Structure 1
Amino acid sequence: MKILQCEAKHLEAAAGLFDKYRRFYGQPSDPEGARAFIAANLEARRSLIFLLVDDAGEAVAFAQLYPSQCSIAMRPFHYLSDLFVDPSARRMGHAKVLMQHLIRHFGEQAVHRLTLETATTNLAAQALYESLGYEREKVFITYHRML
């Protein structure tokens, strides 16, 4: 297996996984919309996308991160918005391998932190993140104002 930083030539694989990810969260399938969204993010360099490719050459997992800045630390951080493993490739350690890669990759770049959120019901993801040293937020409360 190998991990690639997504480029335009990987668009179809990334878009396919992104559409499955959205369906996992209850959204209707929209392959064209997923493709357009990923293509726009890549073209504008809004996000960084990493693909995990299995030994057969198939992209079976992806992570999409958005760069930001931490004002308090005066350093960059990345928000891990999306992490998904294709159902056919689950329980094989792919998510852990991908997450470990992100920790190493961004640690080498002196990024302040990797921040993420997951559903309160996603116990498998919580166990993975905590096993990798992520800490559940205890100080700050998150608010959303839907527009």
Structure 2
Amino acid sequence: MGAQAKITQASLCQLDAAAGLFNCYRQFYHQADDIELARRFIAKRIEQKSSVIYIAYAQLPAGSTEQPLGFIQLYPTFSSISAKESLILNDLYVYQEHRGKGVARQLMLTAIEYAKSQGCVSISLETHHQNHNAQALYESLSFKKDEGFFSYTLDIQ
């Protein structure tokens, strides 16, 4: 594992870093490069407090420009069965050159601590069948693969 990253909850002060990471995340999933769309989307999430975003930064000497490494975005939701709050981990992304250094693990641990602090009953996520590195990370943190339910989606637009 590499050096510890500094993890910060995003506010509008970190909009550029969060939007840049989100734009790259979308491109990773074959979406068009559109930094303005990313800025609008992330700004709205932060302003409306409709998601919680954490950004990992490289630990640099004081006075240096912060270098973002990756981010995680959580959406609050509810579990009807348990009648408690829950989180959907929708986005986790680390810049290619910083992968394999423990940044994603630090972001995941931060998300887990946040969920505990909010009294959430669970964190749920989805990942691509071929994303074996992510699956290994999630399973190493005790996430359980759901073998009992199918996932359905209806595209509206």
TM-score range, shorter chain: over 0.9
Indicate the residue corresponding to 1:40 in structure 2: 44
Once the 2 structures are TM-superposed, how far is the Cα of residue 60 of structure 1 from its aligned partner? 0.7
Task: Structure 1: give runs of 5+ residues left out of the alignment.
Answer: none
2:129 alignment partner in structure 1? 120
CA distance in 1, matches of 2:38, 2:125: 21
Please, which runs of 5 or more residues in structure 2 have no aligned partner? 61-65
Percentage of identical aligned residues: 39
TM-score normalised per structure 2: 0.91
Aligned length: 147
Q: Distance in 1 between matches of 2:46 and 2:111?
A: 18
C-alpha deviations, 1:3-56, integer Å up to 9, x for none?
A: 111001000000000000011111110001100100011111111101011113
Counterpart-to-counterpart distance in 2, 1:71 and 1:30 = 36
Root mean square deviation of aligned Cα: 0.9
Shift >4 Å, 4+ stretches: none
Matched, 1:58 2:67: yes
**What residue in structure 1 maps to residue 63 of structure 2?**
none
**Which residue matches 1:8?**
12
Residue from 141, 148, 153 that aligns with 1:144: 153
